[in-house]
Amino acid sequence: MVDSVIRKIISCVSSVCQHEVLPITQSTLASSGRPKLRSQTSQVVHRSLPFPTLAPCRSVDSYEKLNRIAEGSYGVVYRARDKLTGEIVALKKLKLENEKNGFPVTSLREIQCLLMAKHPNIVNVKEIVVGESLNNIFMAMEFVPHDLKTLMETMRSRNTAFLISEVKTLMIQLLSGVKLLHDLWIIHRDLKTSNLLMTNTGHVKIADFGLARSYGDPPVNLTQLVVTLWYRAPELLLGESNYTPAIDMWSIGCIFGELVNNEALMPGRGEIDQLNQIFRLLGSPTEDSWPNWTSLPNARTIQFANVPQSSLRQKFPYLTQLGLDLLSAMLAYDPGRRITAEEAMRHPWFEEDPLPKDPSQFPTWPSVASGERRKPHSPTAPHAHQNGVDDTDDAGTNTNALKGTAAEKGPSIFEFESKEGFASGFRLNFGKK
Ligand SMILES: Nc1ncnc2c1ncn2[C@@H]1O[C@H](COP(=O)(O)OP(=O)(O)OP(=O)(O)O)[C@@H](O)[C@H]1O
Ligand SMILES: [Mg+2]
């Protein structure tokens, strides 16, 4: 009895939150009664279903657990098979053990944001399933074989890194998903490589909405204890509570740097060290680069190193001027001047050689999440084709891989791709005329 009531409540939450994202047309604009969009130029309209449907959630027993993928701060994630359809999914168990005040708001937000934001680059939640008690609630999501953090660790152990053309493909997809979130007035608040999933065909899916939340205009005070330290924007570190989606753009800048150099951009050991790392990389903020920054709560209490000059160029010696320009725009100190997702997608860096690689041309890697240890033989191992030499071993590992970070590889990355046209490049429709 109690069980069925719980199921109905969860089911109701899911269906109330369920929304459709439709292509924008004159008729949807006219009929939908003012969709709530941040950007007037957005390609999608967010429309609520008129009435919630009431149907019980399925039981978690509908799935056969295959293996544990990870245990994060908010829940355990399993790989599982739908007994009915055979479909492989990721089951994220929501952490509810010590809840005395009912269903936790963090879990509600996570479910709500994921159900609202349907997009090819945002992980798809299929259903909410329940176990025997309120402590056993799971989100069934599409299973995505890689997260970028684990994948980059695998790549590092094989002395390989993403090519610039691949970084572009990953970045443009990330920006596209984040643009939708910001259009829906959602801040993710925990963008980092372990929360970015990737399919075996090079498609990025933003995951882990455990810290995501809707924001409004005018902004309300929000907690500053968000975003994993290495990806945390300076305004958060300095105690700003009226922050904006620009904090996500800072995280995207950190991810961009990490993808290019194949190592975390600013791995701080604590909040003060994080700020000092930021200042060392970008030069200390000034009244010009960030007006009124000194009036932020922590700016008055902390002593910082005074760094007159940015060392971004030295850190990314092989990034083109346009690439560096985009990175600098994401890492702008002043949140009001930081580039938006929509602007970033239109940045000319994506249009210069090497062009973004077609996702179907991405090399495949063993999926740690699927329990695969060795990479199956892959004729399209990274780098080999660009060198015109097939120097992969049996496991598909490139034995002639270039050593060190992507930046150390030098201009050859650009030359091979643009000259040989191996990755003839693909362009997403940026919405340009
Ligand atoms: N849909 C999915 N398909 C495959 N793997 C997934 C999926 N969702 C999550 N994972 C894996 O589980 C890990 C943890 O998931 P998630 O980030 O959602 O949980 P979390 O508890 O919020 O973690 P953390 O606090 O560490 O960020 C991810 O880094 C990823 O490796
Ligand atoms: Mg996570």
For the chain, what is the domain count?
2
148 lines ligand 1 (CB under 6 A): no
CA distance 89 to 125: 10
CA-proximal residue: ligand 1, atom 18 (nearest)? 208
Q: Which of 3, 61, 147, 190 is catalytic?
A: 190
| Averaged pLDDT for residues 387-412 | 28
Supply the CATH number for residue 72's domain.
3.30.200.20
Residue 400 within any structural domain of the chain: no
Residue 175 and residue 119 share a domain: no
Residues 309 and 276 in one domain: yes
Q: Does residue 102 contact residue 111 with C-beta atoms inside 8 Å?
A: no
According to DSSP, residue 9 is labeled: H
Asked whether 369 lines ligand 1 (CB < 6 A), one says yes
Q: How many CB atoms are closer than 10 A to CB 291?
A: 14
Residues 120 and 140 both lie in one domain: yes
Neighbouring C-beta atoms of residue 305, cutoff 10 Å:
9
Question: Hey, what are 220's tokens?
Answer: 């309300």
Tell me the one-letter amino acid at 315: K
Q: Is the CB of 207 under 6 A from ligand 1?
A: yes
Same-domain pairing of 137 and 157 = no
DSSP string, 148-216: HHHHHHHHHHTT----HHHHHHHHHHHHHHHHHHHHTTEE-----GGGEEE-TTS-EEE---TT-EE--
Give dist(CA 190, CA 167) in Å, integer: 20
The residue nearest atom 30 of ligand 1, judged by CA position, is 147
Ligand 2: distance of its center to the CA of 74 in Å? 8
Q: How far apart are the first and last CA of the chain?
A: 58
248-291 pLDDT tens trace: 999 999 999 999 999 999 999 999 999 999 999 999 999 999 99
139 Cα distance to chain centroid: 19
Look at residue 404 and tell me if it is in a domain.
no
Find the 277 Cα to ligand 1 centroid distance in Å: 27
In a domain, 399, yes or no: no
Distance from residue 429's CA to the centre of ligand 1 (Å): 29
On whether residue 389 sits in a domain, the answer given is: no
Q: What percent of the chain has pLDDT over 70?
A: 70
355, 423 Cβ separation under 8 angstroms: yes
61 is catalytic: no
Q: Is 35 in the pocket of ligand 1 (CB under 6 A)?
A: no
> Do residues 307 and 286 share a domain?
yes
CA dist., res. 354 & res. 419, Å (int): 9
Final residue in a domain of this structure, among 144, 174, 208: 144
Six-digit token pair at 428?
Answer: 């997403």
Confidence class of residue 159 from pLDDT cuts 50, 70 and 90?
very high
Cα pseudo-dihedral 312, 316, 319, 325, rounded to 10? -10
Q: Tell me how far apart the alpha carbons of residues 169 and 425 are, in angstroms, rounded to a whole number.
A: 9
> Closest Cα to atom 13, ligand 1: which residue?
70
CB atoms within 10 A of CB 427: 12
Say how many Å lie between the CA of residue 193 and the centre of ligand 2: 9
Q: What is the pLDDT of residue 185?
A: 95
Over range 173-201, report the average pLDDT: 97
368 Cα to the center of ligand 1, angstroms? 13
- Per-residue pLDDT at 411 exceeds 90: no
- Per-residue pLDDT at 97: 62
Helices 246-261 and 148-157 cross at an angle (nearest 10°) of 20
For 40, residues 6+ apart whose C-beta sits below 8 A from its C-beta are none
> Does position 23 have pLDDT exceeding 70, yes or no?
no
The response to whether residue 92 sits with its C-beta less than 6 Å from ligand 1 reads yes
Q: Are residues 165 and 137 in the same domain?
A: no
- Name the residue of 137, 197, 208, 227 to mutate for ligand 1: max ligand atoms within 8 A of Cβ: 208
User: Do residues 19 and 156 both lie within one domain?
Assistant: no
The two structure tokens encoding residue 427: 């362009």
Model pLDDT for residues 325-338, shown as the tens digit of each residue: 999 999 999 999 99
Mean pLDDT value of segment 363-367: 89
Q: Is 78 in the pocket of ligand 1 (CB under 6 A)?
A: no
Residues 243 and 276 reside in one and the same domain: yes
Q: What is the DSSP letter of 142?
A: E
DSSP for 251-275 reads HHHHHHHHHHHTS-S---SSHHHHH
Contacts of residue 287, Cβ cutoff 8 Å, sequence gap at least 6 = 293, 294
Is residue 140 located within the same domain as residue 151? no
Where among 81, 110, 144 does a domain terminate?
Answer: 144
* DSSP label of 81: E
Q: Which residue has the higher pLDDT, 99 or 405?
A: 99
CATH of the domain at 338: 1.10.510.10
> Would 99 be classed as within a structural domain?
yes
The ligand with the least distance to the CA atom of 198 is 1
Residue 174 lies in a domain: yes
CA of 244 to the centre of ligand 1 (A): 24
Q: Does 29 map to a domain? A: yes
**Ligand 1: does its nearest atom lie under 6 Å from the Cβ of 208?**
yes
Domain for residue 394, yes or no?
Answer: no
Q: Is the CB of 110 under 6 A from ligand 1?
A: no
Q: Are residues 137 and 150 in the same domain?
A: no
Structural domain boundaries, residue 119: 2-144
Take atom 29 of ligand 1 and give the residue whose Cα is closest.
194
In which band, very low, low, confident or very high, does the pLDDT at 209 lie, cut at 50, 70 and 90? very high
Orientation angle between helical segments 164-183 and 246-261, nearest 10 degrees: 170
**Which is higher by pLDDT, 107 or 145?**
145
Residue 312 pLDDT > 60: yes
* pLDDT tens per residue across span 217-245: 666 788 877 899 999 999 999 999 889 99
Residue 174: is its pLDDT beyond 90?
Answer: yes
Residue partners of 409: CB distance under 8 A and separation at least 6 = 161, 318, 402
Q: Name the closest-CA residue to atom 26, ligand 1.
A: 72
Q: Alpha carbon of 80 to those of 89, 96, 126, 130: distances in Å?
A: 5, 20, 13, 14
> Looking at per-residue confidence, does 309 or 47 come out higher?
309
Using the atom order of ligand 1, give the atom closest to the CA of residue 208: 18
pLDDT digits (tens, 9 = 90+) for 43-55: 433 444 444 455 6
Ranked by mean pLDDT, the top range of 37-46, 100-109, 340-349, 366-375 is 340-349
Nearest ligand to residue 68 Cα: 1
Q: 176 and 221, same structural domain?
A: yes
DSSP 319: S
> What is the rounded (10 degree) CA torsion for 223, 229, 233, 236?
30
pLDDT at 403: 27
End position of a domain, from candidates 81, 116, 144 = 144
332 and 421 together in one domain: yes
